[in-house]
Amino acid sequence: MRNWSTAINESVADALEKNDRKRVELIVQRYGAAETITLRVFNNKGQLLATSNPQQDGQVTNWLVVTGIHAALEKREAQGVAKGVLSNDDRLFIAQPIVRDGQLLGALRMSITLQQFQRQFAIVIWTVLGTLVFTVLLCTFISEWLARSLSRPIQTMKNFAIRLGSGHFGDKLQIRQSNELDQLAIELNRMSERLASLDQERRAFLANVSHELRTPISNVLVTVEALRNGAVADPGVSDRFLKNVEDESKRLSRLIDDLLNLGRLEAGVVLLEKQNIHLPGLIGRAVRAMETRMQNSQISAQVNVAELQIQGDSERLLQAFINLLDNAIKHSAANSQIFIAGYREGKQAVITIRDQGQGIKDSDLPRIFEQFYTGDRSRKGRGVGLGLAIAKRIIEAHGGSITVSTKVGHGSTFTIYLPI
């Protein structure tokens, strides 16, 4: 309003300077044409020169009492809210002195109904409010949509995890999003696969255990029954039967020991009693333990182990070596030899156990370290397939590794690496 009236003020000042009353009238009519605006120009005595509202203004005799005029005639600008000159409505007004070269030419007063102003204000407020509400709604909508698109896969994953938790292993999660959620889904799928295979292993293990336990027990039961039914009478037969019972019981006892060992190794419960071990001494013990077996099968052992000290649990390592020697003897023909060597290679002790037996078939090779895997089930004196599984776990618990190389018909070499 102020900018507006200042602009008009300039034009009016020009006209007044030239004493052009017609032009002043014209300006006032033009800019005060709107119903809501009243524009008035006074001379420097406070007498009305021109007004945009001539009908009403004719009734006013003293303009000096109208708010702002007095100030303007004292070369001060006044503005604010005041009652209309003749009406009773609130109006916003501005009164300015018309000055040229420091000389007061007159005064200009412009007023506008507050109602109009308020109406415009209301429009602005409603527009702002409307925009605000619209923005809030839009934001809500967008965030809802975002949250949904984020939470849907999370929900899916949650359900998937619940299914996994309730034992549905091996299911697959389908989530196609190239972000972290995708990674998570991949990891969950991997976990599911792993759990499925562990579950599979566990079932197979249980089946194997029960099968292996049942066989010797039913053998014992059958034999005892035969003894009771009269076989005792014949000393030759009863001896054979009792021997059979003894063998099966030993087998059972060994199997249970093996299972317990394996279980402990698997669960990581076994605390290795680490001590300094004199490697040739340990291997000597293992060979001595198998001496009778070797003599019975006319097998000899060639031992060549360097003076090496390693750190480890001697009883467990002894068991690992015995398991390997047991295999070597079992698969060797009579009158053959077993070579045992031990030497240092960098920071490792390497122990090789080589036999001249029948070797391992290619089809068996990848599986021999598995629990309960045995190559030829029909062989006499067969084991249950735990020997290598136990040996491997013991060696791995020592931070070492075991490998095998073999040639069918020529023999096998098991190589053990142990950190020094």
Ligand X SMILES: Nc1ncnc2c1ncn2[C@@H]1O[C@H](COP(=O)(O)OP(=O)(O)OP(=O)(O)O)[C@@H](O)[C@H]1O
Q: Does 357 bind ligand X (CB under 6 A)?
A: yes
Pick the binder of ligand X from 46, 170, 284, 375 (CB under 6 A). Answer: 375
> Which residues of the chain form contacts with Mg ion (CB under 5 A)?
327, 383, 387
SS3 378: coil
Closer of 106 and 387 to Mg ion (Cβ): 387
Describe the crossing of helices 114-165 and 180-228 by its angle, rounded to 10 degrees.
Answer: 20
Closer of 248 and 355 to ligand X (Cβ): 355
Cβ 274 to ligand X shortest distance, Å: 25
Pick the binder of ligand X from 109, 316, 331, 398 (CB under 6 A). Answer: 331
Closer of 173 and 259 to ligand X (Cβ): 259
* Helix, strand, coil shares, percent, the chain, to 5: 55, 20, 25
Determine whether 407 is exposed, middle or buried from the number of CB atoms within 10 Å of its CB (0-12, 13-18, 19+): exposed
Q: Does 374 bind ligand X (CB under 6 A)?
A: yes
Cβ 253 to ligand X shortest distance, Å: 13
Residue closest to Mg ion (Cβ): 387
Instruction: Read off the tokens for 349.
Output: 């002790």
Instruction: Read off the tokens for 340.
Output: 């045992």
Rule CB under 6 A: which of 126-185 touch ligand X? none
Binding segment for ligand X (CB under 6 A), chosen from 15-23, 163-171, 306-314, 384-392, is 384-392
364 binds, among ligand X, Mg ion, none (CB under 5 to 8 A by kind): ligand X
Distance, CA of 159 to CA of 223 (rounded, Å)? 55
Cβ 342 to Mg ion shortest distance, Å: 21
Q: Contact at 8 Å (CB) between 359 and 407?
A: yes
Pick the binder of ligand X from 15, 283, 388, 394 (CB under 6 A). Answer: 388
Q: Does 216 bind ligand X (CB under 6 A)?
A: no
Q: Which of 333, 317, 330 is nearest to 284 (CA)?
A: 317
Closer of 375 and 419 to ligand X (Cβ): 375
SS3 258: helix
Rule CB under 6 A: which of 92-121 touch ligand X? none
Count of residues interacting with ligand X (CB under 6 A): 23
| Beta-sheet pairing, 90-100 with 103-113 | antiparallel
Pick the binder of ligand X from 13, 41, 107, 386 (CB under 6 A). Answer: 386
SS3 157: helix
CA angle 191, 192, 193 (to 5 degrees): 90
Alpha helices by DSSP H, 229-290: 235-267, 279-289
Cβ 314 to ligand X shortest distance, Å: 20
Q: Does 364 bind ligand X (CB under 6 A)?
A: yes
Q: Contact at 8 Å (CB) between 309 and 278?
A: yes
Closer of 327 and 348 to Mg ion (Cβ): 327
SS3 417: strand
Q: Does 412 bind ligand X (CB under 6 A)?
A: yes
Q: Contact at 8 Å (CB) between 290 and 328?
A: no
Cβ 324 to Mg ion shortest distance, Å: 8
Binding segment for ligand X (CB under 6 A), chosen from 107-115, 140-148, 217-225, 322-330, is 322-330
Alpha helices by DSSP H, 67-108: 69-73
Residue closest to ligand X (Cβ): 383
Binding segment for ligand X (CB under 6 A), chosen from 27-35, 139-147, 223-231, 376-384, is 376-384
User: CA 391, 394, 399, 405: dihedral to nearest 10 degrees?
Assistant: 0
Cross-strand pairs, 344: 349
Distance, CA of 404 to CA of 370 (rounded, Å)? 14
Q: Does 416 bind ligand X (CB under 6 A)?
A: no
Residue ranges in contact with ligand X by CB under 6 A: 323, 327-328, 331, 355, 357, 359-360, 364, 368, 373-376, 382-389, 412
